[in-house]
Amino acid sequence: MSLNQFVSTTHNRRNHSGFTLVEVLVTVVVVSIGLLGLAGLQINGLRANMSSEARSKATLLASDIIERMRANPVGLTDNDYANITTAGAGCGVQPNPFCSNTSSSIAADCTTAEMATFDAWVWACGMPPANGNVQPGGVTNQLNQGTGTVVCTDVDTTDADACSEGSTYTVTVTWNELSPDAATSGVDTLQALSLSVVP
């Protein structure tokens, strides 16, 4: 082997050497930053989905009590729905009489006032599941620390009726959810949804 061939072979080996340690470390850092960014996007997406789910449930629950009010016009006229709150609903004890057919009981003949009381209880606690395997609905079970109120704003304060016909009912559902703000991340923040209707 001549000297020129030896020098040429050594020179070619130097040109084809692998990545240096610095190049590998820079690549690892760049890829890590990208993966952390993707993880942050994933977490924000999940949080937004959970918030959207809670707001959808709150909307359905508010609509539920409004439809129950409309289904009981006499109870509505008698102000049986004027001031409902889910606080202290006593979800462990079913109302008596129980104004609905289920597989475990037969509906009682309820007055319009008893029906309004039953509606308020179901709105707060949900209908008890027939097989015991399904999570019950209701504001207190469907939402994190959920509460609900129905308040009547009297359209005619000159008469003796506390909630005259044509008055506005405001249904408010509140719940807690984790704050999306980075400064208060992991802290529960109070959320509220209100619907005003003239049933």
The DSSP secondary structure of 54-120, one letter per residue, reads HHHHHHHHHHHHHHHHHH-HHHHHTTTTSEEE-TT--TTS--SS--S--SS-------HHHHHHHHH
Let me know if residue 7 belongs to a domain: no
Q: Could you tell me the pLDDT band of residue 178, with boundaries at 50, 70 and 90? A: confident
Let me know if residue 85 belongs to a domain: yes
Q: Please write down the long-range contacts of 52-60, taking CB distance under 8 Å and 24 or more positions apart.
A: 54/143, 54/144, 54/175, 54/177, 54/191, 55/191, 55/193, 57/142, 57/143, 58/143, 58/146, 58/173, 58/175, 58/191, 58/193, 59/193, 59/195
Let me know if residue 10 belongs to a domain: no
Let me know if residue 71 belongs to a domain: yes
Let me know if residue 8 belongs to a domain: no
Let me know if residue 2 belongs to a domain: no
Structurally, the chain folds into a number of domains equal to 1
Tens-place pLDDT, residues 82-104:
889 988 778 888 888 888 876 55
Let me know if residue 64 belongs to a domain: yes
Higher pLDDT, 47 or 169: 169
CB 182 within 8 A of CB 40: no
Q: Domain residues for 40?
A: 20-197
Per-residue pLDDT for 179 more than 70? no
- What pTM, to 2 d.p., does this model score? 0.71
Q: Which amino acid is at 150?
A: V
Higher pLDDT, 142 or 185: 142
Tens-place pLDDT, residues 128-176:
766 655 556 899 989 989 999 999 999 888 888 888 888 999 999 999 9
Let me know if residue 165 belongs to a domain: yes
**DSSP 3-state assignment of 183?**
helix
